[in-house]
Structure 1
Amino acid sequence: ESSGGESEDDYVQEKRSSKPKRRGSRRGDEEEGGGGRKRAAQKKRKRKQPEEVDWSSLTQEEASKLRLDMQIEAILKPKKAFRPKRKKKDDDEDVLDRVADEEVSRLREAMLAAAADDEQANKEKLPATSKLRLLPQVLDVLRKTALAQSIIDNNLLEGVRRWLEPLPDRSLPALDIQKEFFPILRKMEFIDTNVLKESRLGRVVIFYTKCKRVTPGIARLANDLVSAWSRPIIKRSASYRDRVIPTAEAPDRDAARGGERLNAILARARESDKNRVRKNAVMIPQRELGSYTVAPKSNIGIMRNNASVDVDIERRKKNAERLKTLTRKITTK
């Protein structure tokens, strides 16, 4: 301890003793009557003045070679002066990237370890709390947009997949994990096909779209993720204007049943009454919820006259075009 203290004191004393020496040198320069200034000026002049070359003593080849070397030196001189600053900036960026990679890599290992601990606790019929303890730290990293490249490079989404996978007893992870992870995944625009292949996250998200134990909100977010991630694969545009909705004309029921006779109707009714327990009972109608992929074709324009509406639409279009041309002329001026 004493040696450390003495060395520190010595370091301070050396610093203090060095300042009066510099002051004394300045005073000495002033006392010399400007001799020091002349020397400094001579040094500056020597630096500024280029070396004189005796071209008469050189041959033609030597002179041309020397001129070429001087031109190259003049071109490379500003680049050499600018290079250290750029190198320093690049070094700082490399240090930041290295720190981010180390942080994400450590978090990935911690996520995988927490998932393994919860699986072991679930097998032993114990509460799985390792992931919940680490959840705030994971959310803090996933919400940082600046760490997107580090998340991709270190495959942090593999840890996300492990956290979303069901436990050995087929129970889903904690609801807090589901509610936090799916909205964050929805905001990660950098997730592409390669990232999904490496992390194998798509299979877990598809499982959440089909599992009946998932809450409706989580299932809706999972469906949105599947549709967003599958667009590049099936080459479908994300713009709503480019969406193509298939349409079909509604069948004419009156025309289809117009040729049906009474005997056929009664036979169909008797066939449906065979499986009924109570013959004279009336069944309460039940609503059926179905998913429709084909939209019906609208016949509103055929049923009523839309001449006035069409005229109004054309007038509005012309006014909009006229306004666009006027604004274009004003902006060009």
Structure 2
Amino acid sequence: MRLDMQLEAILKPKRASKPRRKKKDDDDVLDRYADEEVSRLREAMMTAAQDDEQANREKLPATSKLRLLPQVMEVLRKNSLSQSIIDNNLLEGVRKWLEPLPDKSLPALDIQKEFFPILKKMEFIDTPVLKEARLGPVIIFYTKCKRVTPDIARLANDLVSAWSRPIIKRSASYRDRIIPTAHSGDGDSGRPGGERLNAILARAKESEKNRVRKNAVMIPQRMLGSYTVAPKSNTGNAKNTMSVDVDIERRKKNAERLRTLTRKITTKT
């Protein structure tokens, strides 16, 4: 019986043992693959930027970056490649693509519309990353350039504000914000905004130059402005408080009259 068991064990085919990979080895392989992919893309971005600069000097259409743009955006949108993007300094390629061309023209609008929103979503961008990529000065340029569209300028300002908070130690919470308020007595000669009469007349004279027909009646236009000082609230003044008290007293009297009338009707019935 024992011999039969030994023979059966010998004749029984052994299960092929599969080599087990350690999780750490798998992660290392994936990291190397990601680094190689991002590194190749960075080189391709730099080459495309150089090709477009050369084409711009020769007065030819600069299309190399536009052809590579879908591949670049596919990598930038992957959150799993954030560390590889930092390690291989892919943002340097982004900075190169956003720089003006040799004839001072801005890069294609498609590139701007794709890059600025994705940069705003990259929470891993910190001060050391910005210094290595030298991306900050280019974004500041977009906040000051008059040829930039309003949407891109707004995104550029948001990026500058977000990236500068750690430097100036400003909190991102709205609860910590200090908003200056203007009182009614602020300004020169009691005028709102502190604008002098000479400045008002000068602005009116300047607008008069742009009119085609001097004697024609011009339709008033509303002028919108951006303000950094909030107006002082008037909700707590004495006049409003008095009107509220009068209204409360009036309602109390009406309620008392209604109760008296109800009691009389109940007594009669």
**TM-score (normalised: structure 2):** 0.71
- The equivalent position to 1:106 in structure 2, one of 31, 40, 61, is 40
**Counterpart in the other structure of 1:301:** 236
Q: Against the structure 1 CA distance between its residues 91 and 291, is the aligned structure 2 distance closer, same or farther, given a 3 Å change threshold?
A: same
Distance in 2, matches of 1:116 and 1:256, equals: 58
**1:117 paired residue among 51, 69, 79:** 51
> Which residue number in structure 2 is paired with residue 227 of structure 1?
161
Q: Where do 1:246-325 residues align within 5 Å?
A: 246-251=180-185, 289-302=224-237, 303-305=239-241
Q: Out of 104, 108, 119, which is 1:185 matched to?
A: 119
Aligned to 2:98: 164
Task: State the Cα distance separating 1:35 from its structure 2 match.
Answer: 5.0
User: Measured at CA, do residues 300 and 136 of structure 1 come closer, stay the same or move farther in structure 2, by a change above 3 Å?
Assistant: same
Q: What letter corresponds to residue 178 of structure 2 in structure 1?
A: V
Q: Kindly indicate whether residue 33 of structure 2 is the aligned counterpart of residue 89 of structure 1.
A: no
Distance across 1 between alignment mates of 2:227 and 2:9: 95
In structure 2, stretches of 5+ residues that fail to align are: 11-18, 192-196, 209-214, 249-269
Shift of 1:297: 1.6
Instruction: Give 1:233 shift.
Output: 1.0
Unpaired runs of 5+ residues, structure 1, are: 1-29, 40-83, 258-267, 312-333
Distance change >3 Å, CA 287–CA 251, structure 1 → 2: farther
* Runs of 4 or more above 4 Å deviation: 35-39, 281-290
Deviations along 1:26-85, one digit per CA (max 9) or x if unpaired, are xxxx7934456899xxxxxxxxxxxxxxxxxxxxxxxxxxxxxxxxxxxxxxxxxxxx97
Q: Percent identity?
A: 73
Could you tell me which residue of structure 1 aligns to residue 148 of structure 2? 214
Aligned twin of 1:242: 176
Q: 2:116, 2:28 → 1: CA distance?
A: 32
Higher relative contact order (CA 8 A, sep 6+): 2
1:297 partner letter: K
CA RMSD for the aligned pairs?
3.4
Q: Which residue of 1 aligns with 2:264?
A: none
Residue equivalent to 2:3: 32
Amino acid at match of 1:292: Y
Aligned equivalents of 2:181, 2:234: Cα separation in 1:
12
The alignment status of 1:194 with 2:128, answered yes or no, reads yes
When Rg is computed on C-alpha atoms for both structures, the one with the higher figure is 1
SS of alignment partner, residue 176 of structure 2: coil
Residue from 71, 84, 88 that aligns with 1:137: 71
Count residues in correspondence.
218
Give distance in 2, aligned partners of 1:218 and 1:175.
Answer: 9
Shift of the alpha carbon at 1:186?
Answer: 0.7
Seen in structure 2, the aligned counterparts of structure 1 residues 249 and 121 have a Cα distance that, compared at 3 Å, is same
Q: Report the Cα distance in structure 1 between the residues aligned to 2:110 and 2:182, rounded to whole angstroms.
A: 44
CA distance in 1, matches of 2:23, 2:147: 52
Structure 2: distance between partners of 1:223 and 1:31:
85
1:3 is aligned to none
**Whole-Å separation in 1 of the counterparts to 2:27 and 2:151:** 41
Alignment of 1:54-69 (within 5 A): none
Name which of 90, 93, 108 aligns with 1:174.
Answer: 108
Q: 1:227 to 1:38 in 2, by over 3 A?
A: closer
Corresponding residue SS for 1:237: coil
TM-score (norm 1): 0.58
